[in-house]
Amino acid sequence: MYEHDVIVVGAGGAGLRAAIGAHEAGADVAMVSKLHPVRSHTGAAEGGINAALREGDDWELHAYDTMKGSDYLGDAPAIETLAQDAPEDTIRLEHWGMPFSREDDGRVSQRPFGGLSFPRTTYAGAETGHHLLHTLYEQVVKRGIQVYDEWYVMNLAVSGEADPNDRSCHGVVAYDVQSGGVEGFRARDGVILATGGPGQAFDHTTNAVSCTGDGNAMAYRAGVPMEDMEFVQFHPTTLPSTGVLISEGVRGEGGILYNEGGERFMFERGYANNDGELASRDVVSRAELTEVNEGRGIEDEYVHLDMRHLGSERILDRLENILHLAEDFEGVDGLVEPMPVKPGQHYEMGGIETDENGQTCIDGLYAAGECACVSVHGANRLGGNALPELVVFGKRAGRHAAGEDLGAPEIETGYGDDVEDEGMELPVTPGEAGLPERGSGEAVADGAGAVADAEGLVERAVDRERERVERLMGRDDGVQHAEIRAKLQQAMTADVNVFRNREGVERALETIRECREEYRDVYVDDPSRTFNTDLQQTIETRNLIDVAETIALGALVRNEFRGAHWRQENQERDDDEWLKHTLISWNGGKPSIWYRPVILEGQDKTYEPKTRSY
Instruction: Give the residue, chosen from 87, 213, 276, 350, that forms a contact with another protein under the rule CB under 8 A.
Output: 87
User: Which CB sits closer to another protein, 68 or 399?
Assistant: 399
Q: Smallest distance from the beta carbon of 246 to another protein, in angstroms?
A: 11
Instruction: Give the residue, chosen from 11, 18, 63, 208, that forms a contact with another protein under the rule CB under 8 A.
Output: 208
On whether the CB atoms of residues 497 and 566 are closer than 8 A, the answer is: no
On whether the CB atoms of residues 370 and 42 are closer than 8 A, the answer is: no
Instruction: Give the residue, chosen from 117, 162, 163, 178, that forms a contact with another protein under the rule CB under 8 A.
Output: 178
Q: Smallest distance from the beta carbon of 249 to another protein, in angstroms?
A: 16
Task: Enumerate helices (H) and strands (E) in the chain, giving the number of each.
Answer: 16, 19
Residues numbered 344-403 forming contacts with another protein, rule: CB under 8 A: none
CA angle 347, 133, 30 (to 5 degrees): 100
Which of 194, 246, 406 is closest to 257 using CA atoms?
Answer: 246
Under rule CB under 8 A, residue 97 binds another protein:
yes
State yes or no: is 286 an active-site residue.
no
Stretch that binds another protein, among 19-27, 93-101, 351-359, 366-374 (CB under 8 A): 93-101
Instruction: Give the residue, chosen from 330, 370, 495, 540, that forms a contact with another protein under the rule CB under 8 A.
Output: 330
Find all residues with CB under 8 Å of 336, minimum gap 6, and list them: 308
* CA distance linking residue 562 with residue 140, whole number of Å: 39
CA distances from 164 to 219, 361, 474, 601 (A): 11, 7, 33, 28
Residues numbered 36-75 forming contacts with another protein, rule: CB under 8 A: 36, 38-41, 43-44, 53
Instruction: Give the residue, chosen from 300, 301, 328, 421, that forms a contact with another protein under the rule CB under 8 A.
Output: 328
Instruction: Give the residue, chosen from 3, 61, 119, 125, that forms a contact with another protein under the rule CB under 8 A.
Output: 125
Q: Is 538 helix (H, G, I), strand (E, B) or coil?
A: helix
* CA distance linking residue 587 with residue 80, whole number of Å: 32
User: Which CB sits closer to another protein, 275 or 525?
Assistant: 525
Stretch that binds another protein, among 202-210, 375-383, 389-397, 583-591 (CB under 8 A): 202-210
Residues numbered 513-572 forming contacts with another protein, rule: CB under 8 A: 524-534
User: What string marks each residue from 101 to 120 as x (binds another protein by CB under 8 A) or -?
Assistant: xxxxxxxx------------
* CA distance linking residue 559 with residue 500, whole number of Å: 10
Q: Smallest distance from the beta carbon of 337 to another protein, in angstroms?
A: 10
Residues numbered 217-276 forming contacts with another protein, rule: CB under 8 A: 239, 241-245
Please report which helix (H) or strand (E) contains residue 1, including its range. Answer: none
On whether the CB atoms of residues 179 and 530 are closer than 8 A, the answer is: yes
User: Which CB sits closer to another protein, 182 or 524?
Assistant: 524
Find all residues with CB under 8 Å of 383, minimum gap 6, and list them: 47, 113, 114, 115, 121, 248
Q: Smallest distance from the beta carbon of 35 to another protein, in angstroms?
A: 6
User: Which CB sits closer to another protein, 524 or 547?
Assistant: 524
Q: Is 294 helix (H, G, I), strand (E, B) or coil?
A: coil
* CA distance linking residue 371 with residue 216, whole number of Å: 6
* CA distance linking residue 542 with residue 99, whole number of Å: 39
On whether the CB atoms of residues 400 and 358 are closer than 8 A, the answer is: yes
Residues numbered 292-321 forming contacts with another protein, rule: CB under 8 A: 316, 320
User: Which CB sits closer to another protein, 12 or 591?
Assistant: 12
Q: What is the DSSP letter of 205?
A: B
User: Which CB sits closer to another protein, 94 or 432?
Assistant: 94
Find all residues with CB under 8 Å of 585, minimum gap 6, and list them: 164, 223, 225, 415, 591, 592, 593, 594
Q: Smallest distance from the beta carbon of 384 to another protein, in angstroms?
A: 18
In DSSP notation, 411-438 reads S--SS-TT-B---PPPSS--TTTTPPPT
**Which phi and psi angles does 35 have, rounded to 5°?**
-120, 155
* CA distance linking residue 398 with residue 23, whole number of Å: 8
Count of positions on this chain that bind another protein (CB under 8 A) = 74
Which of 31, 28, 26, 27 is closest to 14 using CA atoms?
Answer: 31
Instruction: Give the residue, chosen from 67, 158, 332, 584, that forms a contact with another protein under the rule CB under 8 A.
Output: 332
Residues numbered 127-146 forming contacts with another protein, rule: CB under 8 A: 127, 130-131, 134, 138-139, 141-142
Stretch that binds another protein, among 35-43, 281-289, 513-521, 555-563 (CB under 8 A): 35-43
Under rule CB under 8 A, residue 490 binds another protein:
no
Under rule CB under 8 A, residue 425 binds another protein:
no
User: Which CB sits closer to another protein, 381 or 395?
Assistant: 395
Q: Smallest distance from the beta carbon of 160 to another protein, in angstroms?
A: 34
Q: Smallest distance from the beta carbon of 129 to another protein, in angstroms?
A: 8
Stretch that binds another protein, among 33-41, 406-414, 433-441, 558-566 (CB under 8 A): 33-41
Q: Is 29 helix (H, G, I), strand (E, B) or coil?
A: strand
Residues numbered 429-488 forming contacts with another protein, rule: CB under 8 A: 480-482, 486
**Catalytic residue among 221, 251, 281, 542, which?**
281
CA angle 521, 509, 386 (to 5 degrees): 100
Instruction: Give the residue, chosen from 324, 456, 470, 588, that forms a contact with another protein under the rule CB under 8 A.
Output: 324
Which of 147, 185, 131 is closest to 18 using CA atoms?
Answer: 147
Stretch that binds another protein, among 87-95, 367-375, 415-423, 507-515 (CB under 8 A): 87-95
Q: What is the DSSP letter of 332?
A: -
Q: Smallest distance from the beta carbon of 116 to another protein, in angstroms?
A: 19
* Residues noted as catalytic: 281
